[in-house]
Amino acid sequence: MAEVYFSKQIEKIIDKIDFSHLGKNVAIKVHFGEDKCDTYVNPAIVKKVYSKVISLNKKATLVECNVMYKGRRTESISHIEVAKEHGFDFAPIDILDGEKGNEFIEVNVDGFKAKIGKGLEKYDSMIVISHFKGHMMAGYGGAIKNIGMGLGNRAGKLHMHSNIKPSIINSKCKGCGICYNNCDVKAVEVMNKKAKIDPEKCVGCAMCIAVCPERAVHIPWEGSTSAELQEKMAYYCKAVSRIIDNVIYINVLENITSECDCMNTKQKPFMENIGILYSKDIVAIDKASLDLAGEKFSKINSINKLKQLDFAVYFGLGKKEYSLVKV
Ligand code: SF4
Ligand code: SF4
């Protein structure tokens, strides 16, 4: 049975963390929050963990991948600017999938090819610090989503979200051709000042989504059921574990919102702060988070939030059974 430590104070959690098995080059995976979001994980908590790692003569870097939709976190330079504006200015930041989100390592899991941000292979261990909150497609976002979705590069994220290729919203398209110029496989053509995507040629890299100045490239959210998305997230977690298996998890149950930190808007937390959890087991920490958040949290959407846990168990990533140790 996995141990999950719980406290209201990060200092007490840090005292319980077994840092000894981490390597010398530690990636700290954080979601910096979308531009206008202000309920992302508290940077003061991340800074305390970072400072502890540094004090142990290890190197530590905040890591993340670019997002698939158009915004300031689509490309590395502006992504890092957002991170610093949000208070993550105390440590080096490494956007693992390159300046444009197109650098990845392909990891084969049972024939499923996951695209993980290429820079991850530089690190020998990882601390995953996750803001626990709701999510419109995955039911909730915790540690599984933070690395499953978060460490996929842009094409990987698109792959997780849908099997359908992006399409053009004609009323928004100005026919500028920027998507055409950025499509490596020539799946885009522009005729009569409107772009069109050939789904047969499209490889789902999502670059057209990133570069379109008019936000005219439609992301086919409706093409993926929640269960498929959660299963793919678990596949990606398994793929990440093939690159780094030396990982510890911290879930922060504060500022709990009904939607993800990817929303480019301010959200009001809908329930009280609960505390901070630490575990070496990705499944146990998310299960303990759901249990502590209770019925009020479970009712934020109708999605079966246990699916991603079940898939993660199936892939041998952890156990749902845990003992909660209050410190
Ligand atoms: S980049 Fe956007 S606006 Fe320009 S042609 Fe492509 S879809 Fe249309
Ligand atoms: S997703 Fe990639 S391959 Fe598909 S049309 Fe857009 S740029 Fe081209």
Domain boundaries, the chain: 2-154+226-326, 165-219
Token pair listed for 126: 């990882």
Average pLDDT on 10-39 reads 96
Nearest atom, ligand 1, residue 190 CA = 5
Amino acid 172 reads K
Task: Report the alpha-carbon distance of residue 80 to residue 316 in Å, rounded.
Answer: 34
pTM, rounded to two decimals: 0.86
Residue 223 pLDDT: 52
Average pLDDT on 137-163 reads 90
Check pLDDT > 60 for residue 17.
yes
How many alpha carbons lie under 13 Å from residue 178 in its C-beta half-sphere? 14
Of all protein residues, the one whose alpha carbon is nearest to atom 2 of ligand 1 is: 212
2-154+226-326 folds as: Rossmann fold (3.40.50)
Give residue-wise pLDDT tens across range 69-82. 778 999 999 999 99
C-alpha 234 to ligand 1 mean position (Å): 33
Q: Is 187 in the pocket of ligand 2 (CB under 6 A)?
A: yes
Average pLDDT on 286-291 reads 98
Give residue-wise pLDDT tens across range 244-260. 999 999 999 999 999 89
Task: Report the alpha-carbon distance of residue 327 to residue 138 in Å, rounded.
Answer: 30
Ligand in closest contact with the CA of 170: 1
CATH class of 165-219: alpha beta
C-alpha Rg value of the chain to the nearest Å: 19
Average pLDDT on 17-26 reads 94
Percent of the chain with pLDDT over 70: 97
Residue 218 pLDDT: 84
The closest alpha carbon to 70, from 170, 279, 219, 236, belongs to 219
Are 269 and 4 contacting, i.e. CB atoms less than 8 angstroms apart? no
Task: Show the ligand 1 pocket: residues with CB < 6 angstroms.
Answer: 168, 173-179, 190, 195, 212, 214, 216-217
Give residue-wise pLDDT tens across range 220-239. 655 556 788 899 999 999 99
- The residue whose CB lies within 8 Å of the most ligand 1 atoms, and thus the one to mutate among 165, 174, 202, 207, is 174
Task: Report the alpha-carbon distance of residue 111 to residue 109 in Å, rounded.
Answer: 5
Q: Is 204 in the pocket of ligand 2 (CB under 6 A)?
A: yes
CA torsion sign, 70 to 158 to 301 to 150? Answer: negative
The closest alpha carbon to 318, from 238, 251, 243, 240, belongs to 238
Check pLDDT > 80 for residue 265.
yes
C-alpha 217 to ligand 2 mean position (Å): 10
Residue 166 pLDDT: 84
The closest alpha carbon to 118, from 7, 290, 243, 236, belongs to 243
Residue 37 pLDDT: 95
How many alpha carbons lie under 13 Å from residue 295 in its C-beta half-sphere? 0
Nearest atom, ligand 2, residue 198 CA = 5
Choose the weakest-confidence range: 104-108, 124-128, 139-143, 262-266. 262-266
CA of 327: how far to CAs of 130, 179, 253, 278, in Å? 19, 53, 16, 11
In the block, residue with structure tokens 């990440």: 240
Percent of the chain with pLDDT over 90: 78
Token pair listed for 292: 């502590």
C-alpha 70 to ligand 2 mean position (Å): 14
- The residue whose CB lies within 8 Å of the most ligand 2 atoms, and thus the one to mutate among 164, 205, 218, is 205
Residue 163 pLDDT: 62
Give residue-wise pLDDT tens across range 48-97. 999 999 999 999 999 999 998 778 999 999 999 999 999 999 999 999 99
Are 187 and 164 contacting, i.e. CB atoms less than 8 angstroms apart? no
Give residue-wise pLDDT tens across range 162-219. 665 789 999 999 999 999 998 888 999 999 999 999 988 887 777 787 788 998 998 7
The closest alpha carbon to 68, from 204, 239, 185, belongs to 204
